[in-house]
């Protein structure tokens, strides 16, 4: 059974990822507008009406902006934890079909087993995920302030990782448009991963199973795809893991679909 993973868009302007396994089709976060989610799904010959569910990592706008249009209007189940549900309801006066999970547990959506774990970020109860299928394992964390042993442990043995590489530290420090208080928040333990911190997480995660890494949530002002890729690839070369391919997700368009089958990225 082939697993298909497509990052529809990722960055400070909105995050949404499509995951398909057999007849199970889920959206991981819905931070693009409802219109953009529909248009980008159509680009891969899918539509919101076929979604099995939507999983929400935390309540920030760039992860839930399209939720009311997509989930409430179409009656698609929304999987999240209790505190994130409360945050969603504070922002939208809509009725949702919530399916509540607890951090640290696992549950199934069709052909996909979802493991949920806590991550450090400045939201009420933010989560990372691993998605386990008969074809392999995907680790997913796009907003995480610092590298933790728990995240590295959950990501181990994955064939595919989606990992935040939000900013280049020097570019962020020199950015004239952000106040110092915001820069401190971004660089803090509950902010966002720098390129170097993403490289550290990847190094602590690597096993012989890992074949592909997608860097996500890149800042449009304080990072560049070529910078992030350079840092990660240099770290992989240093530790002799040059067989792993690395790509960077875009804010503006869907990334190429990653296909995973029988434990191999194809």
* Segment (H or E) for 136: strand 136-141
What CATH number is attached to the domain comprising 235? 3.60.15.10
pTM: predicted TM-score of the whole model, two decimal places: 0.96
Give the tens place of pLDDT for each residue, 20-71: 999 999 999 999 999 999 999 999 999 999 999 999 999 999 999 999 999 9
User: Radius of gyration over alpha carbons of the chain, in Å?
Assistant: 17
Give the tens place of pLDDT for each residue, 196-216: 999 999 999 999 999 999 999
Task: State the DSSP code for 228.
Answer: H
Domain that holds residue 169: 3-265
> What's residue 1's pLDDT?
82
Total domain count for the chain? 1
Distance CA 30, CA 52 (A): 14
- Tell me the residue length of the chain: 266
Task: State the DSSP code for 60.
Answer: -
63 token code pair: 């992860």
> What's residue 62's pLDDT?
97
The whole-chain average pLDDT of the chain stands at 97
Residue 254 binned pLDDT confidence (cut-offs 50, 70, 90): very high
Apex CA 161: angle with CA 5 and CA 263, to 5°? 70
Distance CA 143, CA 57 (A): 9
Comparing C-alpha atoms, which of 124, 94, 11, 111 is closest to residue 53?
A: 111
- Please determine, for residue 225, whether its predicted confidence score (pLDDT) is greater than 90: yes
């Amino acid at each position: 059974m082939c697993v298909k993973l497509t990052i529809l868009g990722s960055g400070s302007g909105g995050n949404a990822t499509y995951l398909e396994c057999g007849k199970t089709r889920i959206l991981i976060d819905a931070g693009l507008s409802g219109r953009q989610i529909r248009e980008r799904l159509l680009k891969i010959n899918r539509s919101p009406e076929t979604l099995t569910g939507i999983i929400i990592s935390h309540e920030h706008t760039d992860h839930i902006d399209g939720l009311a249009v997509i989930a409430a209007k179409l009656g698609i189940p929304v999987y999240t934890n209790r505190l994130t549900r409360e945050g969603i309801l504070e922002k939208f006066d809509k009725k949702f079909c919530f399916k509540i999970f607890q951090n640290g547990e696992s549950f199934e959506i069709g052909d996909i087993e979802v493991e949920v774990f806590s991550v450090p970020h400045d939201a009420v109860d933010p989560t990372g995920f691993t998605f386990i299928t008969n074809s392999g394992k995907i680790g997913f964390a796009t907003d995480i302030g610092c590298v933790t042993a728990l995240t590295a442990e959950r990501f181990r043995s994955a064939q595919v990782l989606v990992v935040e590489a939000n900013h280049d530290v020097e570019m962020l420090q020199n950015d004239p448009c952000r106040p110092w208080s915001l820069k401190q928040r971004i660089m803090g333990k509950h902010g966002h991963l720098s390129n170097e911190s993403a490289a550290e997480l990847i190094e602590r995660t690597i096993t012989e199973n890992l074949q592909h890494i997608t860097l996500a949530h890149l800042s449009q002002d304080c990072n560049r795809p070529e910078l992030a890729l350079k840092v990660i690839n240099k770290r992989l070369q240093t530790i002799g893991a040059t067989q792993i391919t690395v790509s960077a997700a875009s804010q503006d368009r869907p990334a190429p679909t990653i296909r995973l089958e029988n434990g191999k990225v194809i």
